[in-house]
Structure 1
Amino acid sequence: MVRCLLDLVRAYAPSTIFIDEIDSLCNARGASGEHESSRRVKSELLVHVDGVNNTGTNEDGSRKIVMVLEATRKHIYIPLPNFESREELNRINLKTVEVATDVDIDEVARRIEGYSGDDLTNVCPDASLNGMRRKIVGKTRDEIKNMSKDEISNDPVAMCDFEDVAEDGYRIEQNHN
């Protein structure tokens, strides 16, 4: 069946084979208690996957490509960003935002030590919306609808906006404990 699958994939290249939870299928070969059929499937898979891209060329002369994509349920530890990474992520996340002159990217990066990359991706856009939030706080839905575009337009993101976001729920203690 493995050989048949790979022959089909080669014939219809370009194509992708996706194998979910490869670690449960392909644990160490020859382990004690391993069934013979399991060992044969692993061997067959390894032999054919190794040569899967030696499939020739298409009619237009382009190379036939077969991609083998495997997923695992193993957990991979990704450490929290260091100071330089936090600083760079802030710069990237603020590229399309007007930033006030009082914003010190270094200071923001120092204050958000312990934040994950996902936290950082949320902090900058959220901080950039604080100016608009201040303008609509306490207003009814109709009052907000009747505001002009100039009235509601967002102010440049300021240092106080980052402080407000941290106070409003992006603290690590709240997100990760």
Structure 2
Amino acid sequence: MSLFTELRRISQDWSMRIHRAKNILFPQSWGEEKWLEFCKALCLFIQEKGTNWSQDDKLYWDLRCQLHDGGNLVCQVEQDGHEKISLAVVQTGGFVESGQSYVWLLAELGKDGKFLKDPYFVDGIWKEAFLIFLLPRHKQAAFFLSAFKETTSPLSVEPPSEAHNHSSYLID
């Protein structure tokens, strides 16, 4: 392998790492459609994984997550019949003073699946944390892959040449 090829490989690798770091430091802002899709998926996730109860003809779901930096993320869904669903994501503890909470997301969805009023949201790593759970497993590392492609020609089915014995590279 030539030195030039190896330098191009290292350059490409670091270029990808810098691109990923830039996306983390300066994430693309979501429009209303993306937030709507995220809120619906988050509601379903909370309903599936959280505890539930009913009170005054309303259904409630609650899911709490402990944060690495201290504190808890409290996620709640309230369903008022078939009229509306309210979603709240709030942090207690951590950087939040005792007895107070920090609101990350508040949204109300109508029976048509649209926002009833403008949602309130604060972009943060909480969103990326939930995206890991919400995305299909094969898309969770999508920052390395842009898309899958079909091959234009059939792959060779012939066995590799016996010139090189690659079994010596295997680790026991």
TM-score, normalised on structure 1? 0.25
Which structure shows the higher strand fraction? 2
The structure with the largest alpha-carbon Rg is 1
**Using CA pairs below 8 Å that are at least 6 residues apart, which structure has the higher relative contact order?**
1
Higher fraction of helix: 1
**TM-score for the superposition, normalised by structure 2:** 0.26
